[in-house]
A and B are shown apart, each in its own frame.
Chain A
Amino acid sequence: MAIARFWRETPRRYNLGGSRCTVCASVYFPPRTVCPTCSTHRQSIGKMEPLQLSGEGEVVSYTLVHEAAVGFEMQVPYVLALVKTTEGPLLTGQVVNVLPDEMRVGLKVRATFRKLREEGPAGVIHYGYKFAPRDDLEPGPRPGRNAEATPVHSSDASRARA
């Protein structure tokens, strides 16, 4: 697929850039142009402001994927979860640094910047958020706090593999 398609989502996928409706204060991820919550959507046109999610949240549901999505074959079985962020929006993402047995509804997690998949041996490498148990992460910059750092080296990629 064209590189631009992934590149243009970088602010969202790397930094959890969402949006907030200045009329009703609802928060969305990915960002929206109109607010679905406001009674009349026209009120919110031009009044949505960017809001970066903290990446903190808890697991609402999860699964252990055995039949992988394309590009994820080398990772099976992997944990996929629905995570409710502190700001409100639910996100779909993998959970790493966790054993399947340790997964539970209510597990506190934090977003972490990882390699998602690569487009074949010579293709583009996609990066973005995954989640890890909160206790498991060392204190330090959270995803989104280091917006300039765009890992391109294979060492980042191999470290990202959970």
Chain B
Amino acid sequence: MREVAILGTGMTKFGELWDRSFREIGIEAGFQSLVDSKLSSHDLGALYLGNMASGAFLEQEHIAPLILDYAGLAGHHLPAIRVEAGGASGALALHEGYLAVASGAYDFVAVGGAEKMTDVSDTEASRIVDATADTEWELVFGATLPSLWAMVARKHMHEYGTHREDLAALPAHDHLMASKNPLAHFRNKVSVDQVVNSGMVADPLGLLDCAPLSDGAAAVVLGPMETARKYTDTPIRIAASQVACDTMALHHRRDLTTLDSTVFAAKRAFSQARRKPADIQVAEIDDAYSIAGLVALEDLGFVAKGEGGAAMRDGRFFGKGTTLINASGGLKAQGRPFGAVGVAQVVELVRQLRGEAKERQVSGAQVGLAHNVGGTGATSAVTILERAN
């Protein structure tokens, strides 16, 4: 396996992009990533596209060749491959692209993530994303994605004495970071009080504990590390790309407050990169729900099990300590176009590691980690990036 570098990044604004179509945003992010590197589209060997549910959202399946076509590349007859893993679709597309370059199958690949979620009503969109949990044995009985996460939260509060305010600290941090991110869905600041008092979705989670439904796309181009400097002055090395899976339904997990998929993906990733949590300066963690971000800190190994609440309360990862989480604003405030999330996280990390993150730049960031979850944790992906010096 050879080393793989990220050569370019692209990303659209996230939000309710009513005036823009799926193909428009997909192509915008893709071309940005090509232009950002010195690659031409002729160099590409394949396209990997993370997308959760274009069929349900847009009545359009088979979208990988669609994006390829509208990117003007149909005539190159490249393979274009859609990857689906619920909310982790983007990260899994990146994983596939990484493997393809690492194995030598292709030299250069484009990896995109795109989702268009606001062409259907909120109710319909919620129904579609709920289906990343187990339809037959969870949803049929009245469960929704937030209600399942709410039960993780309740259990965590019961087991470890986590407070409601501990959960609310993360959305408040996310919104503060997103206020410095021009591409973010939400740029308003919110207080812990506002989160705690937001309209109830599934007790104890309120509306402001939950990431929004967004439109958006993100893309990166990958190539072998050995020739990376021909295409960019600041190649970012993929030090690890790992995916792990677990039971589909929350009720079948070994422990209700631990995502073993995250634990295993993280262990493998830290081992592959020969790094430990303390080496990470910037981390984009999956905070689709405030509780998801809290347990992610534990499952990734940043804090011990049960200490996530205290870490949030003390703001240990909000700029005081070694690691800053969700410089982008996270899923909560940068936005959550499902299939695009995993790629967008990596775009943010690359910009941080290159020192291009402007107002929200974490100074001297050398190593970054991205963590992306599908459903209630049936899939997790952990990616570690390093600035190549």
- Asked if A82 lies at the interface with its beta carbon under 8 angstroms from chain B, I say yes
| B142 interface neighbour in A82, A89, A105, A116, Cβ under 8 Å | A116
Instruction: Give A66-88 interface residues, CB cut-off 8 Å to B.
Output: 66-70, 72, 75, 77-78, 80-82
Given the interface pairs A66-B202, A67-B126, the reply to whether A94 lies near B142 with Cβ below 8 Å is yes
What range describes how many residues of A lie at the interface?
35 or more
- Asked if B192 lies at the interface with its beta carbon under 8 angstroms from chain A, I say no
- Asked if B147 lies at the interface with its beta carbon under 8 angstroms from chain A, I say yes
A91 to B139, CA, bound (A): 12
Given the interface pairs A30-B137, A60-B155, A92-B137, the reply to whether A67 lies near B144 with Cβ below 8 Å is yes
| A105 interface neighbour in B147, B158, B203, B205, Cβ under 8 Å | B158
What range describes how many residues of B lie at the interface?
35 or more
Establish whether residues A67 and B201, one from each chain, have CB atoms under 8 Å apart when the complex forms: yes
- Asked if B130 lies at the interface with its beta carbon under 8 angstroms from chain A, I say yes
Establish whether residues A93 and B155, one from each chain, have CB atoms under 8 Å apart when the complex forms: no
Instruction: Give B129-159 interface residues, CB cut-off 8 Å to A.
Output: 130, 136-144, 146-148, 150-155, 158
Chain A residue at minimal CB-CB distance from B253: A90
Given the interface pairs A66-B200, A67-B202, A105-B158, the reply to whether A61 lies near B141 with Cβ below 8 Å is no
Interface of B, secondary structure class, is helix
| A67 interface neighbour in B136, B138, B140, B146, Cβ under 8 Å | B146
Closest CB in chain B relative to A86 CB, distance in Å:
15
- Asked if A43 lies at the interface with its beta carbon under 8 angstroms from chain B, I say no
Closest CB in chain A relative to B257 CB, distance in Å:
9
Among B244-252, B266-274, B278-286, B321-329, the stretch that binds chain A is B244-252
Given the interface pairs A80-B147, A92-B249, the reply to whether A128 lies near B158 with Cβ below 8 Å is no
Establish whether residues A63 and B151, one from each chain, have CB atoms under 8 Å apart when the complex forms: yes
Establish whether residues A90 and B251, one from each chain, have CB atoms under 8 Å apart when the complex forms: yes
Establish whether residues B151 and A61, one from each chain, have CB atoms under 8 Å apart when the complex forms: yes
Establish whether residues B250 and A116, one from each chain, have CB atoms under 8 Å apart when the complex forms: no
Establish whether residues B154 and A65, one from each chain, have CB atoms under 8 Å apart when the complex forms: no
Closest CB in chain B relative to A20 CB, distance in Å:
16
- Asked if A108 lies at the interface with its beta carbon under 8 angstroms from chain B, I say no
Q: Kindly count the residue-residue contacts between A and B in the assembled complex, taking CB atoms under 8 Å apart.
A: 102
Most buried by B among A6, A67, A72: A67
Q: Which residues of B contact A89 (CB under 8 A)?
A: 251
| B147 interface neighbour in A9, A65, A126, A128, Cβ under 8 Å | A65
- Asked if A64 lies at the interface with its beta carbon under 8 angstroms from chain B, I say yes
- Asked if B123 lies at the interface with its beta carbon under 8 angstroms from chain A, I say yes
Q: Which residues of B contact A105 (CB under 8 A)?
A: 154-155, 158
Contact with B along A3-29 (1 / 0, CB 8 A): 000100100010000000000000000
Establish whether residues A92 and B141, one from each chain, have CB atoms under 8 Å apart when the complex forms: yes
Contact with A along B337-355 (1 / 0, CB 8 A): 0000000000000000000
Establish whether residues B203 and A63, one from each chain, have CB atoms under 8 Å apart when the complex forms: yes
| B151 interface neighbour in A66, A67, A80, Cβ under 8 Å | A80
Given the interface pairs A68-B142, A92-B141, the reply to whether A63 lies near B249 with Cβ below 8 Å is no
A61 to B146, CA, bound (A): 14
Chain A residue at minimal CB-CB distance from B146: A67
Interface of A, secondary structure class, is strand
Given the interface pairs A82-B251, A93-B141, the reply to whether A63 lies near B155 with Cβ below 8 Å is no
Closest CB in chain B relative to A34 CB, distance in Å:
14
Instruction: Give A88-124 interface residues, CB cut-off 8 Å to B.
Output: 89-94, 100, 105, 116-117
Chain B residue at minimal CB-CB distance from A105: B158
Chain A residue at minimal CB-CB distance from B151: A61
- Asked if B76 lies at the interface with its beta carbon under 8 angstroms from chain A, I say no
Q: Which residues of A contact B252 (CB under 8 A)?
A: 90
- Asked if B77 lies at the interface with its beta carbon under 8 angstroms from chain A, I say no
Chain B residue at minimal CB-CB distance from A63: B150
Establish whether residues B147 and A63, one from each chain, have CB atoms under 8 Å apart when the complex forms: yes
A129 to B137, CA, bound (A): 11
- Asked if B127 lies at the interface with its beta carbon under 8 angstroms from chain A, I say yes
Q: Which residues of B contact A68 (CB under 8 A)?
A: 142, 144
- Asked if B78 lies at the interface with its beta carbon under 8 angstroms from chain A, I say no
A78 to B148, CA, bound (A): 13
Chain A residue at minimal CB-CB distance from B207: A67
Closest CB in chain A relative to B117 CB, distance in Å:
16
A75 to B144, CA, bound (A): 14
Establish whether residues B136 and A64, one from each chain, have CB atoms under 8 Å apart when the complex forms: no
- Top 8 A-B pairs ranked by shortest CB distance? A63-B150, A90-B251, A61-B155, A64-B203, A61-B151, A66-B200, A63-B202, A61-B154
- B contacts, CB < 8 Å to A: 123, 126-127, 130, 136-144, 146-148, 150-155, 158, 199-205, 249-252, 256
- A contacts, CB < 8 Å to B: 6, 9, 13, 30, 60-70, 72, 75, 77-78, 80-82, 89-94, 100, 105, 116-117, 126, 128-130
> 17 extra interchain contacts, Cβ-Cβ under 8 A, other than A75-B142, A92-B251?
A6-B140, A61-B151, A61-B155, A62-B154, A63-B147, A63-B202, A65-B142, A65-B147, A66-B200, A68-B144, A69-B143, A77-B203, A90-B252, A91-B137, A92-B143, A92-B250, A116-B142
Question: 5 A-B pairs, CB-CB below 8 angstroms?
Answer: A63-B203, A64-B200, A66-B201, A67-B201, A89-B251
